[in-house]
């Protein structure tokens, strides 16, 4: 839950005090004190047992969601079913300009190039101390079993990828959008990255349509309605379900 209270100034987490840590037996001894302290809190969050519902004055919250995008019959229909008019207009503009070319590569060098030149540099440039990625060996193992890299390049420089995505095919008609990365060529440029993102997502949708996939798994997002990832994925037309294995929390505000 610390991620919920991350400061927007400098990406810092304010110091927190741990009032209790222990097992259920130890908790029983301290339960009275913890209950009294919780009564003075603005927000209480208590992990729920599996299948447990919420009380009359509580919300049952799943903080970890999985986004799934149904694949349509054509790219035009895919765009028409996006929930955001702005997103539809942006996608159509990028499509009309036709300034990018894309290709899919399943070779070992493709993964190494993507990870070293697009994924890791992008995380460090964009998120700094908050950057985090799965271990390279774990990613490489997934890639070797069922992965490919979708590369995107400007048409006037067709051999120099500006961004890319690691895709996973689980053989069940679901195309997983596992990782992405962008070329770091100078100071962070939000507008340029937004255009690259739109072009990459269009290439992803086109690949899914041509491969007859039923849906695209766009991965994890926090269950917060104004979270940037949640907003963007919802605008694309995603559906959301609780991530498998996600804990549920009783929230009392």
Confidence of residue 10 (pLDDT cuts 50, 70, 90): low
Q: Region 148-174: what's the mean pLDDT?
A: 96
Higher pLDDT, 8 or 73: 73
pTM as predicted:
0.81
Give pLDDT tens digits for 202-213: 999 999 999 999
Average pLDDT, rounded, for the chain:
89
Give pLDDT tens digits for 18-65: 778 899 899 899 999 988 988 888 888 888 887 777 777 788 888 889
Percentage of the chain exceeding pLDDT 90: 57
Residue 130 has a pLDDT of 60
- Residue 222: CA count within 13 A, CB half-sphere: 12
234: how many CB neighbours lie within 10 A of its CB?
Answer: 19
* C-alpha–C-alpha distance, residues 175 and 51, integer Å: 30
Q: Quickly tell me which residue has 């959008």 as its tokens.
A: 177
Higher pLDDT, 184 or 82: 82
Contact (Cβ atoms closer than 8 angstroms) between residue 105 and residue 149: yes
* C-alpha–C-alpha distance, residues 146 and 90, integer Å: 32
């Amino acid at each position: 839950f610390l991620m919920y209270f991350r400061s927007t100034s400098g990406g810092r987490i304010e110091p927190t005090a741990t009032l209790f840590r222990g097992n259920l037996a130890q908790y029983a001894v301290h339960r009275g004190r913890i209950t009294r302290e919780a009564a003075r809190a603005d927000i209480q969050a208590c992990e729920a047992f599996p299948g447990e519902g919420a009380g009359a004055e509580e919300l049952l919250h799943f903080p970890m969601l999985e986004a799934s995008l149904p694949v349509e019959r054509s790219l035009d229909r895919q765009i028409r079913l996006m929930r955001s008019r702005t997103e539809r207009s942006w996608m159509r503009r990028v499509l009309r300009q036709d300034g990018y070319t894309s290709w899919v590569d399943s070779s070992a060098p493709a993964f190494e190039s993507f990870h070293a030149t697009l994924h890791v540099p992008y995380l460090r440039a964009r998120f700094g101390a908050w950057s985090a990625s799965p271990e390279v060996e774990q990613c490489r193992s997934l890639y070797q079993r069922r992965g490919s890299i979708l590369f995107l390049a400007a048409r006037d420089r067709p051999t120099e990828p500006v961004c890319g995505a690691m895709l996973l095919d689980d053989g069940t008609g679901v195309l997983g959008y596992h990782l992405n990365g962008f070329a770091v060529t100078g100071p962070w440029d939000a507008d340029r990255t937004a255009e690259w993102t739109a072009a990459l997502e269009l290439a992803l949708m086109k690949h899914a349509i041509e491969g007859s996939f039923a849906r695209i798994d766009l991965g994890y997002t926090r269950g917060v309605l104004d979270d940037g990832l949640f907003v963007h994925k919802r605008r694309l037309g995603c559906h959301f379900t609780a991530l498998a294995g996600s804990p549920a929390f009783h929230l009392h505000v």
